């Protein structure tokens, strides 16, 4: 990673303030609806079963997310707040991690603050910070891991500890949901590429060159390869103690074969299912909730913030172009992450897919948009940053009632936000 010509002052308190503001907003009506909705009907019962160590439940997904939900229920009660406190905390910490990641990647105050505003106003992020699904905690762990990894690149003397932390967090992300897997292989591949670029075949064994001079490839493989796998398998530890049909600690392959089979066996069509190319162009949303509940007609809609989703695509292409022209590796990161994460869903043998699978690729879009507009800001062209952030905030404010389960006028009020048929 290239060092900037002049390192700006760290906008740490901006990061704290944006994360705090998001925490307050995301907590509004966190307990509404007061009953499980959408995929909560799967994960909350599975968390209860896991807490009692009764028997396997929801076996197609790893255990950590459900174990965390069970912990939230133990601390805050088996009710709406207990169900959703972990996703809420994941959203707040993940947002903070995203800003710190962009700071250590760019050393640009503008890029960091813009990134925070874009993610805080992301419809995907808001909804999953308020819903007991696995995607929010998975993304939170992934962003914290990326922050630790990039900081290790920037501070080679601390790289060993930062890479170790990143490795553990990577394992926890994977232990929450598999969707993050393509992202987790990129740090190790980047380290390998840098060694081979600088030292050729010698890079496989030498300490010299690469992203962290003084660290051999074998050590990086320990922190970024073996440690995440060990942490991941340890997240299954509660299943070793089920009263009925416990999981053998040594049945790694067999258990994963069963999980893969269960993932592929869901073939029943769903009215809100979609395919990957619809996610890219923000064409197919999901109404997680639309009914009379808690004394009012309410709705919760999952769709991408139109400003972020479309400007982000343009920024992604511009990042790729800047990398081709300048060779500056920072510009390659968002397109590479986006392509890797989207590639999973292009080839995945999962017959029924949904828009929420776009949560992680959408993070790459926001990183690209923050990098592009932040660089322009630092160069004196500030109107694109204002346009992107103000536009994202205004769109979020308009959609806020159907992001936060607000009371609606009647059962046809959804038409205010369902701009075309794919959003109904």
Predicted structure pTM score: 0.96
Q: What is the pLDDT of residue 2?
A: 62
Q: What is the pLDDT of residue 1?
A: 59
Q: 322: closest CA among 110, 156, 106, 117?
A: 106
Q: What is the pLDDT of residue 404?
A: 97
Cα–Cα distances in angstroms (integers) from residue 268 to residues 145, 254, 273, 290, 349, in the given order? 35, 25, 10, 22, 14
Q: How many residues does the chain have?
A: 424
Contact (CB, 8 A) for 92 and 23: yes
What is the rounded distance in angstroms from the CA atom of residue 395 to the CA atom of residue 19? Answer: 19
Could you list the mean pLDDT of each consecutive 10-residue stretch along the chain, which spans 424 residues? 69 98 98 97 96 93 97 97 98 98 97 98 98 97 98 94 98 97 95 92 90 93 97 96 93 91 82 94 96 97 97 98 94 97 89 94 98 97 98 98 96 94 91
Is 80 in a helix, a strand, or coil? helix
Through-space distance between the first and last CA atoms of the chain, rounded to whole angstroms: 44
Please state the φ and ψ torsions of residue 6, each to the nearest 5 degrees: -140, 120
Cα–Cα distances in angstroms (integers) from residue 169 to residues 134, 164, 222, 354, 369, in the given order? 15, 9, 14, 25, 25
- The token pair at 215 is 């660290």
């Amino acid at each position: 990673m290239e060092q900037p010509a002049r390192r700006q002052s760290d906008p740490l308190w901006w990061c704290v303030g944006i994360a705090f503001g998001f925490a307050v907003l995301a907590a509004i009506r966190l307990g509404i609806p007061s009953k499980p909705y959408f995929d909560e009907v799967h994960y909350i019962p599975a968390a209860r079963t896991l807490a009692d160590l009764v028997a396997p439940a929801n076996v197609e997904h790893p255990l950590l997310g459900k174990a965390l939900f069970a912990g939230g229920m133990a601390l805050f009660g088996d009710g709406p707040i207990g169900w959703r406190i972990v996703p809420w905390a994941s959203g707040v910490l993940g947002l903070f991690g995203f800003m710190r990641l962009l700071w250590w990647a760019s050393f640009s105050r503008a890029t960091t603050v813009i990134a925070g505003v874009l993610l805080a106003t992301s419809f995907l992020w808001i909804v999953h910070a308020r819903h007991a699904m696995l995607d929010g905690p998975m993304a939170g762990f992934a962003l914290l891991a990326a922050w630790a990894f990039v900081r290790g690149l920037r501070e080679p003397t601390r790289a060993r500890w930062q890479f170790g932390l990143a490795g553990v967090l990577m394992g926890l992300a994977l232990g929450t949901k598999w969707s993050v897997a393509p992202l987790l292989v990129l740090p190790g591949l980047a380290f390998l590429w840098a060694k081979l670029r600088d030292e050729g075949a010698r890079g496989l064994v030498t300490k010299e060159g690469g992203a962290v001079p003084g660290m051999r490839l074998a050590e990086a493989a320990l922190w970024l390869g073996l440690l995440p796998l060990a942490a991941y398998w340890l997240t299954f530890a509660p299943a070793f103690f089920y009263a009925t049909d416990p999981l053998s600690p040594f049945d790694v392959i067999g258990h994963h074969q069963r999980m893969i089979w269960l993932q592929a066996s869901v073939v029943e069509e769903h009215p809100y299912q979609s395919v990957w190319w619809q996610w890219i162009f923000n064409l197919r949303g999901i109404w997680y909730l639309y009914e009379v509940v808690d004394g009012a007609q309410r709705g919760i809609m999952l769709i991408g913030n139109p400003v972020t989703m479309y400007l982000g695509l343009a920024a992604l292409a511009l990042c790729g172009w800047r990398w081709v022209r300048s060779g500056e590796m920072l510009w390659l990161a968002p397109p590479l992450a986006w392509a890797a994460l989207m590639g999973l869903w292009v080839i995945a043998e999962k017959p029924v897919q949904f828009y929420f699978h776009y949560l992680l690729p959408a993070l790459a879009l926001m990183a690209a948009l923050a990098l592009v507009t932040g660089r322009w800001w630092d160069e004196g062209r500030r109107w694109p940053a204002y346009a992107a952030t103000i536009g994202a905030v205004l769109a979020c404010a308009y959609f806020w009632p159907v992001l936060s389960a607000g009371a609606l006028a009647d059962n046809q009020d959804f038409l205010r936000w369902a701009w075309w048929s794919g959003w109904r």
